[in-house]
Amino acid sequence: MANANPLSERWHALQERIARACAQSGRDPQSLRIVAVSKGVPPERIQHAYALGIRDFGENYWQEAREKIPLLPDDIRWHFIGHLQTNKVKYVVGRFALIQSVDRAELLQEIQQRALKLGIVQPVLIEVRLSEGPTRAGAPVAQTPALVEQALQMPNIALQGLMGLAPYTEQEAPIRRAFQTLRALFEQLPEANRLWLSMGMSHDFEIAVQEGATMLRIGTALFGERNEQGG
């Protein structure tokens, strides 16, 4: 007999894996927030995930998110996790609970200007580049403290932590080193214990939990292989 609700099964399996990873590192699973990466996922499947209790969803493309958001419950917390061009900031600020992919000074400035115009404070994470490659986004590690300082000085931006992607590899050691680098930067933030450390996706979140992540971005392990690029 075919499984009637694979999403529900994957969600419960994911929760069990997270619980095991937390138990191994002496952590409370309640200290983690899961962002369901819904890039490429139709609204009806997001609604099914919502019915399971998930409230945080991550989108990579503002055009796609713009079509989905009006069709879904108002209490969803939308996260923007894709590369953001400065000329697209106007479509994102004020529409997302958290912009996780802020990686350069000019982007911070554009978000500040847009948030000021709207009369809001926009929560953001600074994305840190944890591996090299032509498609790798994020602020270089050495430049991250200066970018953090700029964000803290902007009245219409609320810096809420750091985000990073570990290298795509089957080897555990470079993934763990990347997460350790990000955590070391994170611990330098003022009041870090009140902020988010967003690291870990479907293929490496157990390591991220062990290394102190407080926010996981999960796509494939929840929605299946259609979303294989998302998390």
The pLDDT value given to residue 4:
59
d(C-alpha 67, C-alpha 80), whole Å = 14
Rounded to 10 degrees, the C-alpha dihedral 139/185/217/26 comes to: 170
List the domain boundaries for the chain: 6-227
The pLDDT value given to residue 54:
98
The pLDDT value given to residue 132:
80
d(C-alpha 59, C-alpha 200), whole Å = 16
Those residues of the chain that have pLDDT short of 70 are 1-4, 133-135, 226-231
The pLDDT value given to residue 137:
86
The beta strand positions in 84-211, using DSSP E, are 98-102, 122-129, 157-165, 196-198
Q: What percent of the chain has pLDDT over 70?
A: 94
d(C-alpha 177, C-alpha 181), whole Å = 6
The candidate with the shortest Cα–Cα distance to 195, out of 158, 228, 144, 231, is 158
The pLDDT value given to residue 225:
82
CATH for 6-227 (3.90.1300.10, 2.60.40.3140, 2.30.30.90, 3.20.20.10): 3.20.20.10
d(C-alpha 185, C-alpha 95), whole Å = 28
The pLDDT value given to residue 106:
98
The pLDDT value given to residue 134:
61
Q: Give the pLDDT confidence of 189-225 residue by residue, as tens digits.
A: 999 999 999 999 999 999 999 999 999 999 999 999 8
Q: Give the pLDDT confidence of 153-166 residue by residue, as tens digits.
A: 999 999 999 999 99
Is the pTM for the entire model greater than 0.85?
yes
